[in-house]
Amino acid sequence: MSSQEVTLRNVFALPAPGTRDSSPERWKNFQEKVSSEVKTIKWPASMPNVAEKLCELFDVPLPNLFWMSWKKSHELVTLLDESKQKPEATNSLGLAEHTIVSEHHPYIEVRIGNMPVKKLEFTVKVSFKLEGFVLKIKAGEIEEILTGRCTAEGQVLYEGLKIAEKTLSPVNLPALYRFKTEPVPSVYKSAPDYSASHV
């Protein structure tokens, strides 16, 4: 992947490790809500630690999320299969303008010792509109992605409380990704929560 990798953390402007959050009030509201739900339990970690763990759930490269939609394309699957037969050849596939819409439910499980005491489940709704993307395919794999225009919008919610929001606006992607599919965390793979539409 590119050293300028763009992740869901970037999309939602969640703080990078070791940096100060520009919207600390969201964690105050979150802490108040969680504390009201577990009044009888002494909270085992400071809220900054929980917030940091939450932000780590968003370290998912955008091309890996895009791949979850693209792999449903019959044309792409066929081209990948054909390229396995001629591994020395490089093929290009231009993608039509399309929109990827997905909903995910990542969570953090809070434990005291080995006992789970609270599951903090979040709802992530995100929509990407992609234009002018080209895939370079070789030996049965997407080797490179030439990116085009990408706009996104979405929300991160905890039981109705808004943690983060992305209003419809461009996402700056590197012009080129050297792509190797990496595992996407299982919380982003749930089929019932995922849909994609192509235009």
- State residue 110 phi and psi, 5-degree precision: -90, 130
* Angle subtended by helix axes 25-37 and 47-56, to nearest 10: 110
Q: Which amino acid is at 160?
A: G
More confident residue, 192 or 103: 103
Supply the mean pLDDT for the chain: 81
The number of folded domains in the chain is 1
SS3 content of the chain, % helix, strand, coil (to 5): 25, 40, 35
Task: Give me the pLDDT at residue 199, please.
Answer: 30
Task: Give me the pLDDT at residue 119, please.
Answer: 82
For residue 73, being part of any structural domain is answered with yes
Confidence bin at 34 (pLDDT 50/70/90): confident
- State residue 62 phi and psi, 5-degree precision: -60, -40
As a whole number of angstroms, the distance between CA 84 and CA 80 comes to 7
Sign of the C-alpha dihedral computed for residues 176, 180, 181 and 184 taken in this order: negative
For residue 18, being part of any structural domain is answered with yes
| pLDDT of 52 higher than 50 | yes
More confident residue, 19 or 169: 169
| pLDDT of 29 higher than 90 | no
For residue 182, being part of any structural domain is answered with yes
Range with top average pLDDT, 63-77, 121-135, 170-184 = 121-135
For residue 3, being part of any structural domain is answered with no
For residue 2, being part of any structural domain is answered with no
Task: Give me the pLDDT at residue 178, please.
Answer: 86
Question: Within 71-144, where are the H helices?
Answer: 74-85
**Residue 12 β-bridge partners:** none
More confident residue, 178 or 17: 178
Q: Where in the sequence is the domain holding 74, given as residue range(s)?
A: 8-198
| pLDDT of 168 higher than 80 | yes
| pLDDT of 172 higher than 70 | yes
Residues 6-16: what's their mean pLDDT? 91
For residue 112, being part of any structural domain is answered with yes
| pLDDT of 43 higher than 60 | no
Q: Torsion angle, CA of 90/71/3/93, rounded to 10 degrees?
A: 30
